[in-house]
Structure formats: structure tokens, C-alpha cells
Amino acid sequence: MRTVQLAEVAAVLADPTRAAMCLALLDGQAWTVGELGRAVGVAPSSASEQVGRLAAAGFISTVHQGRHRYVRITDSRVAELVERLAEHAEHRPATGLRGTLSRNRLAFARTCYDHLAGRLGVAIRSRMLATGLIDTSDGLALTEAGRTALHELGVPVPSGTRRPLLKECLDWTERREHLGGALPAALLAHAVDRHWLERGTDRSVRLLPEGHEPLAVLGVRSVDLSLEH
């Protein structure tokens, strides 16, 4: 039975259009069907058909708001599955200057569903651990010092959610962990809103000059930013 189910899941992502849609949705945001179709280069009728296939397979969820139908990755588990498959695909060498530049941007910083990944994401986890803002002695946890630092930055610490506050997420470009969970999602959203970070169109994330000082509060020093793109 599991063999059949695995084959069915693989068949859903075997289509290049559906795979491209899932990769676009890894930015964690909601897209209209039309936007998603334009992003992957297909007609509206084809986009609706492919979105239907992805929804039926549980990869995406849809919500109607006014005249528009919005779609997004169902949850973090689906995002992690797509991310791991993308990791396997990325083992192939990049071709051309554009491919190399894109890969470098994604390796520096990118969205992993709704939180930060890449060298910058790994550096934040590493420095927060080194400076006592998080602790791993009894499972991954935010310390009082960490709560104080986040309060100083104006980052809300989520509560009352079934999603873990913090979890380890293996970074496929760095082969080390970055932080996933409800808190890193809140941190990324806050950083983008405050213009510390800027999202690219290809899941890449750019560190803006205004972001260096807030990162220092999390323990990330200028010397750590030899990861600078």
C-alpha cells in the first residue's frame, strides 16, 4: 500500500509545471491562481487544472477571498518535503552565469517555507546558541536572555500555537541546522516588515544595511557576515 501511495505522490511532482508551482510556493506566501500560472508560464486554464491536482494530493490548500482564489503550501511538513526534493535536484551543477548567481543568492539566504535558511539562517542559529539566547541542553528552547533580545527587537514570541516554537531544520546548502518553527517564522516576517531583509523573486533573501544592527542583538557579528553575498 505504501508503495502505491509513494508512487502517487511522486507522480504529482513529476510534472514540471506542478513542480515549479511548489517551488514558487516555498516562499510561504499565498498566491492567486493567476499569479502562480504567470510565474510558471502557463495559461490560466492550465494553472487551474494543475492547482486542482496539487490540492487533491494535499500539497496545497486554497481559500476564496472576494473574486480571487488564493493557494499556498498546506503546511511546513509539505514545504520540508519539497525542500528536500529540491535539495536532491540542486546537487546537479549550475549551468551559465545566471544559474551560478541564482544559486549563490539562495545559498546566502533564502526562505524555507516561512523561515530563514542558507548561510545567514545557519549563522543566526549558531550565534544565538553561542550567546545563550537559545539552549539545547534539554531540547531546543528559547532562554530568558533570548526573550529579552527579541523584545528589544520588537519580535513577537508566538504562544498558544500547536506548532513548535523552535525546531531544528537541516540546511541543504550548509549541511548544518538553521532554526524552523513558529518563532523563526515570526522573526523573518518582522525583519522583512522592518526592512532589515528583503525577499527576492526566487526565494532568495537580501540582507539590507538596516539589518546589521538587529542581527548584532542576536549575536551575529560583522565577522560572521563573510557570508555576505
Domains, the chain, with CATH or none = 2-75 (1.10.10.10), 93-227 (no CATH)
Degrees (nearest 5) of the Cα angle 18, 108, 83?
30
pLDDT tens readout for residues 51-89: 999 998 889 988 877 777 889 888 878 887 887 777 666
Which of 136, 81, 135 lies closest to 112 in space, CA to CA? 81
* For residue 101, pLDDT beyond 70: no
Query: What does each C-alpha distance from 52 to 12, 29, 59 come to in angstroms?
Result: 11, 18, 10
Spatial CB neighbours of 140, under 8 Å, sequence gap ≥ 6: 134, 166, 167, 168
Q: Rounded to a whole number, what is the distance in angstroms from the first to the last CA of the chain? A: 46
pLDDT tens readout for residues 12-49: 888 889 988 888 888 777 888 888 999 889 998 899 99
* For residue 95, pLDDT beyond 50: no
Q: Which three cell numbers stand for residue 57?
A: 494530493
Cβ(199)–Cβ(211) below 8 Å: no
What is the pLDDT at residue 114?
A: 87
Across the chain, mean pLDDT equals 84
Which residue, chain included where needed, has cell 546537487?
91
The mean per-residue pLDDT over the stretch 140-164 comes to 94
* For residue 134, pLDDT beyond 60: yes
What is the pLDDT at residue 2?
A: 65
